[in-house]
Amino acid sequence: MRVLITGVIATLLFLSVACGNGEEANKRATKPSSSPANGPAAGEPAPIIPGENGSLGQKPPGKPAEEKKETQKAAADSTPPAKINGAQIFSEQKCATCHGNDGRGKMKGAPDFTDVAWQRKEKDTELIEAVKEGKKPKMPAFGAKLKGDEIRAAVAYVRSLAKK
């Protein structure tokens, strides 16, 4: 029993020394850094944070401007399609010229959007890409004319045309 208590005390002492005195650690955490805003003060270790795959890595010095732009773009494209009228986009962008007002397809080669089998085999990502980039030889690209949320709303409208 005495050996167990001695072992526990030794372990606790080791951990307290290894982790540092709580009061001293608090002083270091609240002490303002004399180095640039994105890095530790001279002689202080860089904070460690989990990496992408769960491994430990050093904290990056700051968020690159490209990441900020992508984040802002994603936020701008995050408007739910429900707030945008997909049927109106379908009509205004002249989709109905080839696909028909009812979505059954007017031109040769235009898919029948009311066909449940066609709806099952087409993925949303494929439909979005087709609207953005077009489909050779006849379907024009709408990526320069429509925002991401407008394209998603149009795809949602196309999905709504399937026979139940």
Q: What is the mean pLDDT of residues 33-51?
A: 52
SS3 13: helix
pLDDT at 5: 74
Per the structure block, which two tokens stand in for 13?
Answer: 């002492």
Break the chain into its structural domains and give their ranges: 78-160
DSSP 93: T
Judged against a pLDDT cut of 50, whether residue 25 lies above it is answered with no
For residues 53 and 155, give the distance between their C-alpha atoms in angstroms, rounded to a whole number.
34
CB 130 within 8 Å of CB 59: no
pLDDT bin (cut points 50, 70, 90) of residue 55 is: very low
pLDDT tens profile 77-116: 444 455 889 999 999 988 999 999 999 998 988 999 999 9
**DSSP symbols for 1-44:** -HHHHHHHHHHHHHHHHHH--HHHHHHHHHSPPSS-TTSPPTTS
For residues 77 and 80, give the distance between their C-alpha atoms in angstroms, rounded to a whole number.
8
Q: What is the mean pLDDT of residues 118-132?
A: 95
pLDDT at 163: 76
pLDDT at 38: 52
pLDDT at 117: 94
pLDDT bin (cut points 50, 70, 90) of residue 150 is: very high
pLDDT bin (cut points 50, 70, 90) of residue 53 is: very low
Q: Which fold has domain 78-160?
A: Cytochrome Bc1 Complex; Chain D, domain 2 (1.10.760)
Judged against a pLDDT cut of 80, whether residue 45 lies above it is answered with no
pLDDT tens profile 57-75: 444 455 555 555 554 554 4
Percent of the chain surpassing pLDDT 70: 51
**DSSP symbols for 114-137:** T-HHHHHHS-HHHHHHHHHH-BTT
**Residues 52, 58, 59, 63: what is their CA dihedral angle, to the nearest 10 degrees?**
-70
